[in-house]
Structure 1
């Protein structure tokens, strides 16, 4: 019998892979949330406070975490351990296989899958933000204009971009908005990205209640013309994908508009456009912003959405999405998408 070194380790200490994954998971939680208290860690991880305390003591002995009055944080050595183990742990989890299968079947550039279900886990939402920030750093290179949409998935990215100095980048809201309407979030999120990256941003306030005639006039206003010019030069877009019916409710759409979405079988929404299962545009909101046809010319596209409940919406958008799209999603959405396909 010829055992490999790894096989011999497992034969001698069969619980080793489980221990490694448990400590890796705890270290990742601390990296995402730190400085963080022990009780919070216990709640987030699912371990008892006693188990959490024991694990933290072990991690501290190995100089992987610091335990201070303000909470637990990861050391430089701990960050390096996370980096080295990342691919091996992800491979073992099956998420790589999920991502590769979705990449092949969706015919887009790449899919990245994080653990969990965003519908039920705040941690998974944070992992989506962390993974998107990581991919953004990897791919942004010398691109100067980045458009971002509203939504909680995109809003979760800037906290993981701290200390990313991109002073020559301009973040812009992907479409206009004003008041309590969701489009305002894009303005706020663009500002959050700029603050995190020591960059600049451009907000765009568009009153969505304008009539069709006023909308046509507004597009010729200097502010609108300036934004339209920026949209034509955009080199990267980061956007969410919404469930059509939920987005209609959040936007306080009229009963007539909601009925139209039902009749036309709208499943997903992005950029104010609604899509059916085949990826066809069945309705759109009157606004000024990035147009769907413009996306084909944008070299770098990030779509961020998770949760099993959003699987149908994600598929409806991706049915006609540009092939250069990079999707960041979670296990629950990925598994449900494959089941639906």
Structure 2
């Protein structure tokens, strides 16, 4: 496939732009449908006349249908979006970028999707799709019937954090995967996210797709030290924390320090401290500087950075060029094995490393 696409690229280099544009139109309709033409043109930042011409072609080829409520994708259009992801990756030369970033960050694997989620929120869906494929590959290779006993006492544990990208991963997983030998758990307590983005919700949605067990952790994300100690003495909480720390695979997001500080309601004085100390990233309640050193931590219930050393496979999922420094901060802690990110973040990370 790569050789054929490279041939087409050399013969007709303008084909790249056409394929990218039409794929972007289809993926945006898929994400926002039903959507009007003017709204779509604004999101794509192209002239409405140009969009109209492209939509006529896509409609004639039965990829798009128009209704009074707006535009939808046909089943053929949805299939094209799903099949087109790998082709777009090849056209954008992301395989070479993945190899370069893997070496620079000293990771087992790097997966990069085209685009920049900082500019286009649809790319979060692409990140979710890539993460869901990785999720299936990891559970298929690590948790086959031959490797796992389906009895509850031998159940393998998968932990997930919350966030919009992790929620997209859960959404993109196919239904009825039938992995009864697994248990899905939230990696930590809630964080005041939208309900659909909370770790408990993501864990339950994944478990539904896998047809397996799940457990919930019904505690806030930030508590006083005394409250944490008290909660950890509760038998039910103690049991779920023990289970979470036995995770075999962890999928987690990464946050920008200033964004997470505001979300947690940290006061202005403490936010100023984090800024002065150079905090750029946040994960598991730890605020990290560019070198991966801990600047500050909040009292949380669930996994901590130290726990990650005991988890065989740790996957970070985060994108957007605005998160490049935050991603670097987390990778510098040397806890992650695999990174799923987007082109915007990847190129910014490489640029930062080479400065």
- TM-score grouping bracket, smaller chain normalisation: 0.7 to 0.9
* Structure 2 residue aligned with 1:223: 236
Q: Is the 8 A contact 1:241 1:304 kept in 2?
A: yes
* Structure 1 residue aligned with 2:97: 98
Deviation, structure 1 residue 182: 8.5
Structure 1 alignment gaps of length 5 or more:
none
Aligned CA distance change for structure 1 residues 174 and 90 (closer, same or farther; 3 Å) = same
Deviation, structure 1 residue 126: 2.2
The one of 122, 135, 151 equivalent to 2:163 is: 151
Deviation, structure 1 residue 30: 4.7
* Structure 1 residue aligned with 2:344: 332
1:125-155 CA-to-partner distances (Å, cap 9, x unmatched) read 2222222222222222254422111223323
The one of 259, 274, 277 equivalent to 2:290 is: 277
Aligned CA distance change for structure 1 residues 57 and 137 (closer, same or farther; 3 Å) = farther
Q: Is the 8 A contact 2:5 2:91 kept in 1?
A: no
Superposition pairs for residues 1-341 of structure 1, below 5 Å?
Answer: 15-30=14-29, 32=31, 41-59=40-58, 62=61, 65=63, 67=65, 69=67, 71-75=71-75, 79=79, 83=83, 86-141=85-140, 143=143, 144-163=156-175, 165-166=177-178, 168=180, 169-177=182-190, 180=192, 185-207=198-220, 210-255=223-268, 257-322=270-335, 324=337, 326-341=338-353
Task: Return the alpha-carbon distance in structure 1 between the equivalents of residues 136 and 285 of structure 2.
Answer: 27
Deviation, structure 1 residue 318: 0.4
Q: Residue 198 of structure 2 aligns to a residue in which SS?
A: helix
Q: Residue 328 of structure 1 aligns to a residue in which SS?
A: strand
Q: Is the 8 A contact 1:232 1:294 kept in 2?
A: yes
Aligned CA distance change for structure 1 residues 57 and 335 (closer, same or farther; 3 Å) = same
Q: Is the 8 A contact 2:224 2:299 kept in 1?
A: no
Structure 2 alignment gaps of length 5 or more:
144-155
Q: Is the 8 A contact 1:145 1:236 kept in 2?
A: yes
Deviation, structure 1 residue 187: 2.0
Bigger mean CA deviation after superposition, 305-314 or 143-152: 143-152
Q: Residue 335 of structure 2 aligns to a residue in which SS?
A: coil
Aligned CA distance change for structure 1 residues 321 and 58 (closer, same or farther; 3 Å) = same
Aligned CA distance change for structure 1 residues 74 and 200 (closer, same or farther; 3 Å) = farther
Aligned CA distance change for structure 1 residues 262 and 60 (closer, same or farther; 3 Å) = closer
Task: Return the alpha-carbon distance in structure 2 between the equivalents of residues 303 and 124 of structure 1.
Answer: 16
Q: Is the 8 A contact 1:244 1:267 kept in 2?
A: yes
Aligned CA distance change for structure 1 residues 119 and 26 (closer, same or farther; 3 Å) = closer
Aligned CA distance change for structure 1 residues 21 and 276 (closer, same or farther; 3 Å) = closer
Aligned-residue Cα RMSD (Å) equals 3.4
Task: Return the alpha-carbon distance in structure 2 between the equivalents of residues 131 and 323 of structure 1.
Answer: 17
Q: Is the 8 A contact 1:151 1:186 kept in 2?
A: yes
Deviation, structure 1 residue 48: 4.6
Aligned CA distance change for structure 1 residues 220 and 31 (closer, same or farther; 3 Å) = same
Task: Return the alpha-carbon distance in structure 2 between the equivalents of residues 6 and 313 of structure 1.
Answer: 34
Task: Return the alpha-carbon distance in structure 1 between the equivalents of residues 187 and 8 of structure 2.
Answer: 55
Task: Return the alpha-carbon distance in structure 2 between the equivalents of residues 18 and 193 of structure 1.
Answer: 36
Q: Residue 72 of structure 2 aligns to a residue in which SS?
A: strand
1:225-253 CA-to-partner distances (Å, cap 9, x unmatched) read 11122113212211111111221121012
Task: Return the alpha-carbon distance in structure 2 between the equivalents of residues 337 and 306 of structure 1.
Answer: 11
Task: Return the alpha-carbon distance in structure 1 between the equivalents of residues 125 and 297 of structure 2.
Answer: 30
Deviation, structure 1 residue 172: 1.5
Q: Residue 146 of structure 1 aligns to a residue in which SS?
A: strand
Q: Is the 8 A contact 2:222 2:298 kept in 1?
A: no
Aligned CA distance change for structure 1 residues 175 and 77 (closer, same or farther; 3 Å) = closer
Number of residue equivalences: 333
Q: Is the 8 A contact 1:107 1:323 kept in 2?
A: no
Q: Residue 159 of structure 1 aligns to a residue in which SS?
A: helix
Q: Residue 163 of structure 1 aligns to a residue in which SS?
A: coil
